[in-house]
Amino acid sequence: MRKRLMLIAGALAGMMALVSMTGCDNQPPKPKANFASTDVTGIDYAKGFELTDHTGQKRTLADYRGKAVVVFFGFTHCPDVCPTTLAELAAVKKELGADGDKLQVLFITVDPERDTQQALADFVPAFDPGFVGLYGTPEQTAKLQQDYKLFVQKVKNKTGDSYNVDHTAGSYVYDPQGRIRLFMRSGQGPQAVLNDLKLILAGA
Ligand code: NI
């Protein structure tokens, strides 16, 4: 009799455990997408901006909700990384085909002294008519560098009459819900960028 009671108690405890296991959360965890870029989902910086676009419109990140957004920081006088990156992103957008409309590339200048609205209008849409150039006041630009933890340093050329800007050469990627998701290093190659953006657009 005692043995039987113990068996019943044991069975009940087992059932309770089962109920508590399945009762709270039976949603299987979503498998993590295999991004080539660094997954920065949930970081507490790079949350957005308030700037002016190359047509003179005030813009914030929320204006591009519904699209995957690639934010790249640079300057139009850049001899190498900036034009290369924009050309690469234009090629990736073409590769996306019809989904290219769901990709928004934003080029934010870290050199607003020289990158006026007109300079950005001449430079950015030349890579793709849908690309947008953005600039801010010197104060907004300084805040941006903090908000995005950017490295930016002016370097005078040999004759001292001009300068280059050494800068963070990666891009931040937001999903269509406006959440920060990826940091893409420059030089990952267009195939890696294409794959990652396809994953983001597919809801990864
Ligand atoms: Ni550059």
Q: What is the pLDDT of residue 160?
A: 87
> What one-letter code names the amino acid at 52?
T
Region of poorest pLDDT, from 4-8, 50-54, 94-98: 4-8
Q: Determine the distance separating the centroid of ligand 1 and the alpha carbon of 79, expressed in angstroms.
A: 7
Q: What is the pLDDT of residue 32?
A: 78
Cβ atoms 154, 165 nearer than 8 A? yes
Q: Determine the distance separating the centroid of ligand 1 and the alpha carbon of 203, expressed in angstroms.
A: 30
Q: Determine the distance separating the centroid of ligand 1 and the alpha carbon of 187, expressed in angstroms.
A: 13
Q: Determine the distance separating the centroid of ligand 1 and the alpha carbon of 32, expressed in angstroms.
A: 32
Q: Determine the distance separating the centroid of ligand 1 and the alpha carbon of 94, expressed in angstroms.
A: 22
Please list the alpha-helical segments (H only) found in the chain. Answer: 2-24, 81-95, 117-123, 138-147, 190-201
- d(C-alpha 165, C-alpha 110), whole Å: 8
Q: Determine the distance separating the centroid of ligand 1 and the alpha carbon of 133, expressed in angstroms.
A: 14
Q: Determine the distance separating the centroid of ligand 1 and the alpha carbon of 130, expressed in angstroms.
A: 20
| Token pair listed for 5 | 């009671």
Tell me the pLDDT tens digit for each residue of 36-82: 999 999 999 999 999 999 999 999 999 999 999 999 999 999 989 99
Mean pLDDT for the chain overall: 89
Q: What is the pLDDT of residue 11?
A: 59
Q: What is the pLDDT of residue 1?
A: 53
Q: Determine the distance separating the centroid of ligand 1 and the alpha carbon of 109, expressed in angstroms.
A: 9
Cβ atoms 120, 141 nearer than 8 A? no
Confidence of residue 106 (pLDDT cuts 50, 70, 90): very high
Q: Determine the distance separating the centroid of ligand 1 and the alpha carbon of 51, expressed in angstroms.
A: 19
Q: Determine the distance separating the centroid of ligand 1 and the alpha carbon of 179, expressed in angstroms.
A: 25
Q: Determine the distance separating the centroid of ligand 1 and the alpha carbon of 117, expressed in angstroms.
A: 18
Q: Determine the distance separating the centroid of ligand 1 and the alpha carbon of 66, expressed in angstroms.
A: 28
Does the pLDDT value for residue 202 go beyond 80? yes
Please compute the mean of the pLDDT values over residues 160-168 and round it to a whole number. 91
Q: Determine the distance separating the centroid of ligand 1 and the alpha carbon of 4, expressed in angstroms.
A: 78
Does the pLDDT value for residue 112 go beyond 90? yes
Q: Which helix (H) or strand (E) holds 73?
A: strand 68-74
Does the pLDDT value for residue 200 go beyond 90? yes
- Bigger pLDDT: 11 vs 150: 150
Q: Determine the distance separating the centroid of ligand 1 and the alpha carbon of 166, expressed in angstroms.
A: 7
How many residues in the chain?
204
Q: What is the pLDDT of residue 187?
A: 85
Please compute the mean of the pLDDT values over residues 186-199 and round it to a whole number. 94
Tell me the pLDDT tens digit for each residue of 8-41: 555 555 555 554 455 455 666 666 789 999 999 9
Confidence of residue 4 (pLDDT cuts 50, 70, 90): low
Instruction: Give pTM, 2 decimals.
Output: 0.83
Largest CA-CA distance found in the chain, in angstroms, rounded: 100
